[in-house]
């Protein structure tokens, strides 16, 4: 665990009020029970990792937090008040920004237009209120450079970017707009070494600014490198939440695999999973 010491870990104070509290969330799609009662909260200044196997319900869960899905049962409290986000726009306006697993980008549109999609900066007033293209271009280039990607130009179509570059645009966009909560659904799955460490460093940076980060990953090393708390989902239910230091990487890995033995694999893979 060499990554372990790399980032500062704010000891999460249990007394700090959570920004978002999800209580006993259920989500059914027809006869499919994707979530069968999941509780979760996120406090300002912490990174709460959401872990679990494929199909465990992680993406479905964060989508109820970002207004894409409405929970079938259960309550969402935002800053202590009950809140139901009817659309993603509502949750955004509350200060929640999300990097979706599928990134939510339009390939035919330019990077800058994607970056500000739904939240375009404007100048002028009344009838002459217009999209401030120059400002959008400048900010996009700056934010992308911060993430370690040199774009060819702000007008490059997203469809021509590499998979990792696209992921970086989505992350940079969410970091830029995530005023209170930043949700990252497997943000590092396509990233190179330098970009991954940039993303982890960015998580650490925004956490220090008091933003609550929800981080979904299949990579135990990445999760342990930045996580303050770890919640493991399995088949639509929580297997429990552990604080940093309360759980060993091996235990966490076993939980993430749904409690099933990975032992025989571990030998041949040399524990590098």
Ligand X SMILES: Nc1ncnc2c1ncn2[C@@H]1O[C@H](COP(=O)(O)OP(=O)(O)OP(=O)(O)O)[C@@H](O)[C@H]1O
Residues binding another protein (CB under 8 A): 6, 66, 68, 87-89, 92, 98, 100, 102-109, 113, 116-120, 122, 129-131, 133, 145-148, 150, 152, 157, 159-160, 197-198, 201-202
Residue 60 in contact with Mg ion, rule: CB under 5 A: no
DSSP 97: E
Cross-strand bridge partners of residue 92: none
Q: How far is the CB of 69 from ligand X (least distance, A)?
A: 8
Q: Binds 57, which of Mg ion, ligand X, another protein, none (CB < 5 to 8 A, cut-off by type)? A: ligand X
Sign of torsion, CA 70 174 163 258?
A: negative
Helix (H, G, I), strand (E, B) or coil at 222: helix
Tracing tokens 């989505």 back to the chain, one arrives at 170
Neighbours of 76 (CB within 10 A): 20
Chain positions 11 to 40 lying near Mg ion, rule: CB under 5 A, are: none
How far apart are CB 79 and Mg ion at their closest, in Å?
A: 26
Concatenating the DSSP letter of every residue in 99-142 gives: E-TTTT--TTSBHHHHHTTTS--EES-GGG-EE-HHHHHHHHHH
Q: Which is nearer to ligand X, 96 or 216 (CB)?
A: 216
CB 184 → Mg ion: shortest distance, Å? Answer: 11
**Residues 185, 49: Cα–Cα separation, whole Å:** 10
Nearest alpha carbon to residue 69 among 48, 106, 100 = 100
C-alpha span between 263 and 223 (Å, rounded): 21
Q: Which does 202 bind (CB under 5 to 8 A by kind): Mg ion, another protein, ligand X, none?
A: another protein
User: What is d(CA 50, CA 104) in angstroms, rounded to the nearest whole number?
Assistant: 20
Q: Which does 43 bind (CB under 5 to 8 A by kind): Mg ion, ligand X, another protein, none?
A: none
Quick one: which of 57, 44, 62, 154 has its CA closest to 104? 62
DSSP class of 18: P
Residue 1 or 106: the one with the smaller Cβ distance to another protein is 106
Examine residue 189 and tell whether it contacts Mg ion (CB under 5 A). no
Instruction: Fill in the per-residue mask, 9 to 48: x = in contact with ligand X (CB under 6 A), - = not in contact.
Output: --------------------x--x-x--------------
Q: Residue 32's beta-bridge partner residues?
A: 29
Residue tagged 């970056």 (tokens): 115
55 binds ligand X (CB under 6 A): yes
Q: Which of 57, 154, 187, 227 binds ligand X (CB under 6 A)?
A: 57
Q: Which does 73 bind (CB under 5 to 8 A by kind): ligand X, another protein, Mg ion, none?
A: none
150 binds, among Mg ion, another protein, ligand X, none (CB under 5 to 8 A by kind): another protein
**Distance in Å, CB of 30 to ligand X, minimum:** 7
| Interacting residues with Mg ion (CB under 5 A) | 59, 101
| Interacting residues with ligand X (CB under 6 A) | 29, 32, 34, 52, 54-60, 101
């Amino acid at each position: 665990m060499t990554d372990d010491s790399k980032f500062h870990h704010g000891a999460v104070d249990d007394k700090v009020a959570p920004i978002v509290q999800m209580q006993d969330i259920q989500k059914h799609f027809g006869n499919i029970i994707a979530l069968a009662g999941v509780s979760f909260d996120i406090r300002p200044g912490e990174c709460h990792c959401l872990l679990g196997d494929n199909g465990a319900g992680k993406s479905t869960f964060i989508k109820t937090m970002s207004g894409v899905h409405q929970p079938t049962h259960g309550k969402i409290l935002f800053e202590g008040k009950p809140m139901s986000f009817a659309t993603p726009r509502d949750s955004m306006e509350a200060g929640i920004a999300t990097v979706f697993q599928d990134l939510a980008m339009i390939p035919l549109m330019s990077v800058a237009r994607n970056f500000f999609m739904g939240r375009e900066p404007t100048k002028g007033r009344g009838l002459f209120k217009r999209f401030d293209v120059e400002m959008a271009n400048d900010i996009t280039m700056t934010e992308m450079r911060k993430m370690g990607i040199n774009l060819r130009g702000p007008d490059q179509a997203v469809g021509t970017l590499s998979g990792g570059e696209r992921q970086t645009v989505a992350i940079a966009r969410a970091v830029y707009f995530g005023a209170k909560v930043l949700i990252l659904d497997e943000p590092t799955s396509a990233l190179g070494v330098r970009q991954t460490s940039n993303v982890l460093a960015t998580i650490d940076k925004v956490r220090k600014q008091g933003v609550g980060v929800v981080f979904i990953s299949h990579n135990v090393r990445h999760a342990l490198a930045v996580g303050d708390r770890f919640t493991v989902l399995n088949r639509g239910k929580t297997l429990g939440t552990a604080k940093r230091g309360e759980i060993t990487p091996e235990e966490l890995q076993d939980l993430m695999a749904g409690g099933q033995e990975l032992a025989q694999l571990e030998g041949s893979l040399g524990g590098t999973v």
